[in-house]
Structure 1
Amino acid sequence: MAVPNDKASLLTAIDANYIKLVADLARVPPERSRERSLPGHSTGTLISPADLVAYLIGWNELVLTWHHDRALGIEPEFPATGYTWSQLGELAQSFYRNCASESWAELLERLSAAESRIVALIDSMSNEELYAKPWYKKYTAGRMIQLNTASPYSNARGRIRKWLRSQHEPR
């Protein structure tokens, strides 16, 4: 899929990738959702399917926080308070910890809620607000949203599908 460059294509990319991801996540047995057997976001680490969903939740909620802060006239700390772009592995670990006590069903519901809020955010913005000017450094708001929603959904889907195949789960 091409990189979205307008509001309609951004919404389409998010929707298409999210629907496919959710279908594959539904195939994960809940009793295996905390099994650390997926390659992690940091080299040489293993994560669970639940950690992967926590990662998606973390980035989706960061996007929402960035926009909320900007709406209040506060410049967000990127990528997150207390983290630099060179500390993304540590940030991922914080996402896993923040969701460690949630059940598989709770994680999936939280991801669904975050995705719905992202769609509502996009719906509330004009095409010009999303793509006419840089929002963070050289990136437009639409590109920052896409980089932290549709793209990670697609990546996570690939990871989950590979994991499911390695578990001898039929397609």
Structure 2
Amino acid sequence: MPAYASKEELTDAIKKSYVLYDQEFDAINEPEKDLLKVNIDKTPSQNLSYQIGWTGLLLSWESDELKGIDVKTPTPDYKWNNLKGLHEFFYRSYGSYSLEEQREILSKQITEILAWIENLDDDVLFLPEKRKWATTAAKWPISKWIHINTVAPFNSFRTQIRKWKKG
């Protein structure tokens, strides 16, 4: 994972990777959104649902902690050893939306994440253990949590969508 030296580097990475990821859905027709193809583990709808789910969790962890709520990551109903179940929950929760609606939801969440980053103190963003929800044995700063839930999957899932379109 790249170590970001500034908020600008992080937000630029998110914007760039998100735009490229989102553009991959331009050429996908709505009737194909749930089509699973060989050697691709997610449909276009599942791909977007996954992203909506994780970016939504990221925002909710921060929001809940600031409200004084004891945050259970990833969720109170799903533990880290049941991510497949969590992902299936995301697919059920967002899969009934059209691709356009899913893209709009994700776009709004990315806008919220970018605003959140801009409003965080650098120490909170780049130093570990500044939020209870982000305190792990790995001692990741919030910037890494943001990266692994935005930039990293946008890049890898963009590749998946491109393969899906060719398949």
TM-score with structure 2 length normalisation? 0.89
Q: Could you report, residue by residue, the CA deviation over 1:20-63 in whole angstroms, capped at 9, with x for unpaired residues?
A: 111111121222112122633xxxxxx31011100000000000
Match of 2:62 among 58, 67, 74: 67
Q: 2:53 touches 2:90 (CA, 8 Å); kept in 1?
A: yes
Kindly indicate whether the alpha-carbon contact (under 8 Å) linking 1:6 and 1:142 is maintained by their aligned counterparts in 2. Answer: no
1:31-42 alignment runs, 5 A limit: 31-37=31-37, 39-40=40-41
- Alignment partners' CA distance in 2, 1:142 and 1:117: 15
Structure 1 counterpart of 2:135, which letter? Y
Q: Is 1:140 the equivalent of 2:141?
A: yes
In structure 2, the gaps of 5 or more residues are none
Cα–Cα, structure 1 residues 52 and 154, in superposed 2: closer, same or farther, change >3 Å? same
SS at match of 2:73: coil
| Residue number in structure 2 paired with 1:56 | 51
- Aligned pairs, how many? 160
For structure 1, which segment, 125-134 or 105-114, has the greater mean C-alpha deviation from structure 2 after superposition? Answer: 125-134
Contact 2:51 2:106 survives alignment (8 Å): yes
8 Å contact kept, 1:4–1:146: no
Which of 79, 82, 88 aligns to 1:87? It is: 82
| Alignment check: 8 A CA contact 2:49 2:94 kept | yes
Distance in 1, Cα, partners of 2:92 & 2:158: 21
- Corresponding position: 1:28 with 2:23: no
8 Å contact kept, 1:34–1:49 = yes
Report deviation, 1:3: 4.0
Q: Does the alignment pair 1:97 with 2:92? A: yes
Question: Unaligned 5+ residue runs, structure 1?
Answer: 41-46, 167-171
**Equivalent residue of 1:111, what SS?**
helix
Q: What's the CA shift string for 1:59-79, capped at 9, x where partnerless?
A: 000000000011112231111
CA distance in 2, matches of 1:4, 1:126: 14
Q: Give runs of ≥4 in structure 1 deviating > 3 Å.
A: none
CA contact (8 A) 1:61 1:114 kept: yes
